[in-house]
Amino acid sequence: MAETTERPGPGRAWSRPATAVLGLAGVVLLGGTALFLAAVFLHVAPANSLSRQYRDEVDGIVYPEFEQNWKLFAPNPLQQNVSVDARVRTVAPGGATRTHDWIGLTAQDLAAIRGNPAPSHVDQNLLRRAWDFYDGTHNPQDETSTGTRGKLAEQYLKRIALQRIGRDLDGERILEIDFRVTTATVPPPTWNGEAAPPEPKVRELPWWPVADEDYRGLRG
């Protein structure tokens, strides 16, 4: 009896709907990749009419995960330690007000970073960059805004603190919030012979009122 040889079956055949879905997914992926590469190109390219027109859209795609920064290859270490503290003024149910002790916001971040092999970007940079934003938009002499984004910087810093403190403290509603920032120059190594750094500078901001709108969108 002659042996019969089985022929391999035909390859898997995709139905028309499946083929259409795969094709559409491929187009979406290619389009998304092209859009991302175009945004990165406009971000790193010299300023031009197109990058200026779509600056907000480009920044929304690039920041913060894909920020392009030459300091990645030539880092400039921070030369100052900045510590941000906050305190609040509350009102008791009977109407009496009370000013609470300072809360170390930077100390909270440092506690979360130390001993953590993979500290979060939030713990490392959120508060620090919020203060840089405020410092760059306000006059340190009288804390007046020096640009159009001053109020935004104040709200950003305030909401970060309120996110951590909450709507009340010790059962009393928060009325106002105050910030104190201590800046200390990192001392040089003993072997280089440089002069000792100046004494730390303390900068205290004015009291800011706290309203329900300040909590909009915050967790808790």
Q: Give a yes or no: residue 11 inside a domain.
A: no
Residues 86 and 120 in one domain: yes
Range of the domain at 88: 80-215
Residues 111 and 202 in one domain: yes
Residues 33 and 113 in one domain: no
Residues 86 and 149 in one domain: yes
Percent above pLDDT 90 for the chain: 54
Please give the mean pLDDT across all residues of the chain.
Answer: 88
Nearest partner of 142 among 197, 206, 87, 49, judged by Cα? 206
DSSP of 115-138 = T-SS--HIIIIIHHHHHHHHHTTB
Residues 146 and 204 in one domain: yes
Residues 29 and 86 in one domain: no
Q: Give a yes or no: residue 4 inside a domain.
A: no
User: Count of domains in the chain?
Assistant: 2
Residues 97 and 181 in one domain: yes
Q: Give a yes or no: residue 40 inside a domain.
A: yes
Q: What is the arithmetic mean of pLDDT over 74-101?
A: 89
pLDDT tier for residue 74 given thresholds of 50, 70 and 90: low
Residues 103 and 158 in one domain: yes
pLDDT in tens, 51-70: 888 888 888 888 767 776 66
Nearest partner of 180 among 88, 48, 57, judged by Cα? 88
Last residue of a domain, one of 72, 90, 108: 72
Contact call for residues 177 and 207 (beta carbons, < 8 A):
yes
Q: What is the arithmetic mean of pLDDT over 96-115?
A: 96
Residues 45 and 88 in one domain: no
Q: Give a yes or no: residue 129 inside a domain.
A: yes
Residue 157: is its pLDDT beyond 90? Answer: yes
pLDDT of residue 76: 66
Residues 51 and 94 in one domain: no
Residues 86 and 156 in one domain: yes
Residues 39 and 145 in one domain: no
Cis ω before 64 (30° cut-off from 0) = yes
